[in-house]
A and B are shown apart, each in its own frame.
Chain A
Amino acid sequence: MTTTKLVATPGQTVGPFYGYALPYEKDNELLAPGSAGSIRLQGTVYDGSGEAIPDAILEIWQPDADGRIVQRTGSLVRDGYTFTGWGRAAVGNSGVYTFTTVNPGRTEQVPGKPAAAPFISVAVFARGLMNRLFTRVYLPENEEALAKDPLLSSLDPERRKTLIARRDPDGGLTWDIRLQGEGETVFLDFQ
């Protein structure tokens, strides 16, 4: 078995000035808005005083609608047809982010492990945030799968809620991020 021998390079804050470097055209459009199966994933990023944060940037990484993990290039030059599963969105001045994506499908189950409910993996970066934070956003449907999910079932009900999106009337998803305080989002450590 391999063991980790080298120590990881530390992270640092993304700082205030990523805006001319990290965002790019159609960065938040994993597929074209309005195309078949597309949904909007949106929300607001809040700090510990409940103020929206105007300088956070998020990344999502997810399987396609059929649960397939896509390994295709082209995220940085979207051709409007290739779903790569990855996107990036800087929040606006009011702290709101928006992605156009698909509902992630359920990925193939690993033998011997409980089935994970479909989720989107999220990395959060912000000025004032010393290191990126990882979290997940789950689809609200299929209570049974959510109840059996290894991560969700290890959380208190109050905290568990922070990882489950609301379904909007238009079929989209709304999911807010709270970095601190009441309703603080569950952030993950994989080490």
Chain B
Amino acid sequence: MPQDISTKQPETDELVPAAEPHAAHLPLDRAIETQADLSAEINSLGEAYARALKDGAAAETQPRLDYAPYRSSILRHPTKSLHHADPETIELYSPAFGHQDVHALEADLTIQHNGEPQGERIIVAGKVLDGDGRPVAGQLVEIWQANSSGRYIHKRDQHPAPLDPNFTGVGRCITGPDGSYKFTTIKPGAYPWKNHLNAWRPAHIHFSMFGTEFTQRIVTQMYFPGDQLFPLDPIYQSIVDQDARDRLVANYDHDLTEPEWALGYNWDIILTGSKRTWTENEALGAAGDEE
């Protein structure tokens, strides 16, 4: 077929679902990549990790930046190792947010419009803690998510599922003195994307958090227990360690559930930055900072 197969990027990719990598980066056979192909890659990376663990490698606690089954990461991961640095000056502090920044009602995603959103009303609550279990108090938590049918309100989301005029899917709150946060929302639906043929994301809520120093800044995703899509999802599986993956899964908590109102899920977040202690760093000095 005599088609223009120019690899030039269009000026704007508004019409291309953003979950799809640049056309110029697509391998030619990409359109026919199936879940089976992707699952084979995911399993092979998982098995290699299991072998490494058995041979004494340290457990991994974060996602791999270089994780090819998530196709969009192929050209977007640094190829050089992260450079070790001791946090200095500004990095040892976090920006300050307060109730001037966030209204208390922003934590309820079900009251932002005139009517009630469709779907299963839920409460998601927990604590933001540092690596010593101390509360991260008075800090900003932001969330965003798809609606109950798996549709984001974002203009680039072209999933043909209904938008909900009563649900935007964005919330914010400031943590309490004990590091606690609590959102009322709707359980998000699973979401189809274009990583490969028949790719579906497990239901998730995006979370953005600040710790007590900027090195603890994190954006992540919270999942729901028992999701059958976990083994199939390259983003969830980019964390190759099962214990680490489990840390992104909320617990159903009947004590949080409110009678005739909403199911409750509990999810605590641990933010660790540097392992610095002032005296250690000062004792080591710059000489201790080499890679």
Q: Is B65 an interface residue (CB 8 A)?
A: yes
What's the Cα separation between A185 and B152 when bound, in Å?
A: 32
Q: Given that A73-B96, A130-B64, A184-B78 are contacting pairs, would A17 and B220 also be in contact in the complex, using a CB cutoff of 8 Å?
A: no
What's the Cα separation between A85 and B214 when bound, in Å?
A: 12
Most chain A CB within 10 A, of B25, B75, B101, B235, is at: B75
Q: Given that A73-B97, A131-B62 are contacting pairs, would A114 and B286 also be in contact in the complex, using a CB cutoff of 8 Å?
A: yes
* Option from A10, A93, A121, A181 in Cβ contact (under 8 Å) with B248: A10
> Which label, helix, strand, loop or mixed, suits the secondary structure of the A interface?
loop
Contact present for A85 and B156 (CB under 8 Å): no
What's the Cα separation between A129 and B219 when bound, in Å?
A: 11
Q: Is B197 an interface residue (CB 8 A)?
A: no
Q: Is B224 an interface residue (CB 8 A)?
A: no
Contact present for B208 and A22 (CB under 8 Å): yes
Q: Is B19 an interface residue (CB 8 A)?
A: yes
Contact present for B24 and A51 (CB under 8 Å): yes
Contact present for A84 and B95 (CB under 8 Å): yes
Instruction: Encode A1-29 as 1/0 by CB contact (under 8 A) with B.
Output: 11111111111111111111110000000
What's the Cα separation between A51 and B13 when bound, in Å?
A: 13
What's the Cα separation between A48 and B98 when bound, in Å?
A: 39
* Option from A63, A116, A154, A179 in Cβ contact (under 8 Å) with B290: A154
B64, closest chain A residue (CB): A130
Instruction: Encode B65-97 as 1/0 by CB contact (under 8 A) with A.
Output: 101001011111111111111111111011111
Q: Given that A10-B61, A18-B144, A131-B63 are contacting pairs, would A2 and B132 also be in contact in the complex, using a CB cutoff of 8 Å?
A: yes
Contact present for B93 and A71 (CB under 8 Å): yes
Contact present for B73 and A8 (CB under 8 Å): no
Q: Is B129 an interface residue (CB 8 A)?
A: yes
* Option from B75, B140, B170 in Cβ contact (under 8 Å) with A128: B75
Instruction: Encode B25-60 as 1/0 by CB contact (under 8 A) with A.
Output: 100000000000000000000000000000000000
Q: Is B225 an interface residue (CB 8 A)?
A: no
Instruction: Encode A103-119 as 1/0 by CB contact (under 8 A) with B.
Output: 01001001111101001
Q: Is A191 an interface residue (CB 8 A)?
A: yes
B165 to chain A, nearest CB (A): 15
Q: Is A42 an interface residue (CB 8 A)?
A: no
A-B contact number at CB 8 A? 286
Contact present for B219 and A20 (CB under 8 Å): no
Instruction: Encode B259-278 as 1/0 by CB contact (under 8 A) with A.
Output: 00000000001111111110
Most chain A CB within 10 A, of B143, B208, B276, is at: B208
Contact present for B270 and A6 (CB under 8 Å): yes
What's the Cα separation between A133 and B140 when bound, in Å?
A: 19
Q: Is A180 an interface residue (CB 8 A)?
A: yes
Chain B binder among A32-40, A53-61, A139-147, A167-175: A53-61
Q: Given that A10-B245, A18-B144, A123-B217 are contacting pairs, would A75 and B271 also be in contact in the complex, using a CB cutoff of 8 Å?
A: no
Contact residues, B220-237 vs A (CB, 8 A)? 220-221, 235-236
Contact present for A113 and B91 (CB under 8 Å): no
Q: Which residues of B contact A186 (CB under 8 A)?
A: 80, 83
What's the Cα separation between A134 and B214 when bound, in Å?
A: 9
Q: Which residues of B contact A120 (CB under 8 A)?
A: 90
* Option from A6, A113, A132, A133 in Cβ contact (under 8 Å) with B78: A133
Contact present for A51 and B22 (CB under 8 Å): yes
Q: Is A190 an interface residue (CB 8 A)?
A: yes
A4 to chain B, nearest CB (A): 4
Contact present for A116 and B89 (CB under 8 Å): yes
Contact present for B73 and A151 (CB under 8 Å): no
Contact present for A154 and B77 (CB under 8 Å): no
* Option from A21, A110, A187, A188 in Cβ contact (under 8 Å) with B206: A21
Q: Which residues of A contact B235 (CB under 8 A)?
A: 12-13, 130
Q: Is A80 an interface residue (CB 8 A)?
A: no
Contact present for B95 and A61 (CB under 8 Å): yes
Contact present for A150 and B86 (CB under 8 Å): yes
8 A/B residue pairs, CB under 8 Å, sorted by A? A6-B129, A8-B272, A21-B144, A22-B144, A130-B77, A150-B289, A186-B83, A188-B84
Which positions in A face B, CB cutoff 8 Å?
1-22, 47-49, 51, 53-55, 59, 61-63, 69-77, 84-86, 93, 104, 107, 110-114, 116, 119-121, 123, 125-134, 150-151, 154-155, 159, 179-181, 184-191
Closest 3 CB pairs of A and B: A128-B72, A21-B144, A86-B95
- A8-B62, A48-B74 provided; 8 other pairs, C-beta below 8 A? A10-B220, A20-B152, A53-B76, A75-B97, A121-B90, A130-B70, A185-B78, A191-B275
